[in-house]
Structure 1
């Protein structure tokens, strides 16, 4: 849909499947298959999050549980180490859960625009509201990584393409709704907590992206605010 030049511009903001963030742990390579026996700096927090006995000491069972979490969300190296990247994902999940059904409690997303899609980069959450009424969400999202940040401010959905595919990267972008040049809401097939993030788009699960597609239309407002951790 559209000219090659237009689709090429879209590709600049595409949220492609990414190479997960690698964290060097004492020189251990990202592809290491062994399970870490080392106690991590965030051991107690990670143990508590996973429902493990909180003793602050790494065990084989701790490592197995941490590795399962890392594998699920694409956190590397997947060696079961309770480091800052793994804990950062868990801490973000806790903050998202705390938002409950009042994501705009602080009133940072405008309530005088009628229907609007809100994107909180700090908590990696998005929702749709109409005035002060919550219409849908909040749902976790995956926004732009460092140097590819999702741009903040008040925007509008300019165009939509349900079955969009990047002409440069040949990456599917289902349910695309473009609100700032090549930056768009669209679904992806990776975890919403997969670091380091997108190339600027607001990634969503297929369920959330399809719901946004049904609730929004061209011309609707989008408000992006905050700052993603690590950017």
Structure 2
């Protein structure tokens, strides 16, 4: 057997061994030529329910198309239409955020004796502004620090504001920045608030929310961060 033929046979053998192993480990769901997963995910029924699809717990081309669109909108990768834990984790968080309604401080964890204060619930990835027990604005979804770059908890104060700030570390624009803990700040970003895995510590907001926070908050205003972001 020539060298080329031996190498070809070896490659085929390695591929044959690796492919089932990857599928068994759940790292390589089967994908059609269209780039759409043909494999039923572990959260298929939950994802189908969330997206208003017929709930049969079986992946279909129509299911995949809708799941892919959701993943693409929120920057979930791989964008293959597979109903995996990351996709369901985003949907589950959305459900929990919606359930909060207009009473985000029902637990009373954010201080009500500080006057105007911006609250950040890391567990639910929500923020709002209150004055005593009165809700001033929100709650709104936010995107906080990922694992290893967690947004630090505790009572803080806004100490510096810069409307056109650019990060000296990551060299990215941070419009409407309001710093409250070292390099951590409220600021707007151009990605989905549910885009995993999260920020480098800042509290990311939509442009509309960041502008509202800019108008409502000032240097010296309190900020209270509590809870723990899922996955950190």
TM-score range normalised by the length of the shorter chain:
0.7 to 0.9
CA apart distance, 1:79: 0.4
The equivalences for 1:81-100 within 5 A come to 81-100=82-101
CA apart distance, 1:29: 10
User: Deviations 1:33-88 (Å, cap 9, x if unpaired)?
Assistant: 61011110000000000000011010100000000000000000000000000000
TM-score normalised per structure 1 = 0.87
Tell me the equivalent position of 1:80.
Answer: 81
2:30–2:38 contact (8 Å) kept in structure 1: no
Q: State which structure, 1 or 2, has the greater radius of gyration over its C-alpha atoms.
A: 2
Distance 1:27 1:185, change over 3 A: same
Tell me the equivalent position of 2:106.
Answer: 105
Alpha-carbon separation, structure 2, partners of 1:73 and 1:41: 20
SS in 2 for 1:149: coil
User: Deviations 1:86-109 (Å, cap 9, x if unpaired)?
Assistant: 000000000110111000011110
Gaps of 5+ in 1: 1-23
Tell me the equivalent position of 1:53.
Answer: 54
Distance 1:178 1:77, change over 3 A: same
Tell me the equivalent position of 1:114.
Answer: 115
SS in 2 for 1:174: strand
2:29–2:37 contact (8 Å) kept in structure 1: no
Q: Which has the higher contact order (CA 8 A, sep 6+)?
A: 1
Distance 1:218 1:227, change over 3 A: same
The equivalences for 1:151-230 within 5 A come to 151-230=152-231
Tell me the equivalent position of 1:40.
Answer: 41
Runs (4 or more) in structure 1 with deviation over 6 Å come to none
Distance 1:35 1:25, change over 3 A: farther
Alpha-carbon separation, structure 2, partners of 1:35 and 1:106: 42
Aligned residues: 207
Alpha-carbon separation, structure 1, partners of 2:216 and 2:34: 44
Stretch deviating more after TM superposition (168-177 or 114-123): 168-177
Alpha-carbon separation, structure 2, partners of 1:71 and 1:81: 12
Distance 1:28 1:48, change over 3 A: closer
TM-score normalised per structure 2 = 0.86
Tell me the equivalent position of 1:71.
Answer: 72
Alpha-carbon separation, structure 1, partners of 2:159 and 2:29: 46
SS in 1 for 2:198: coil
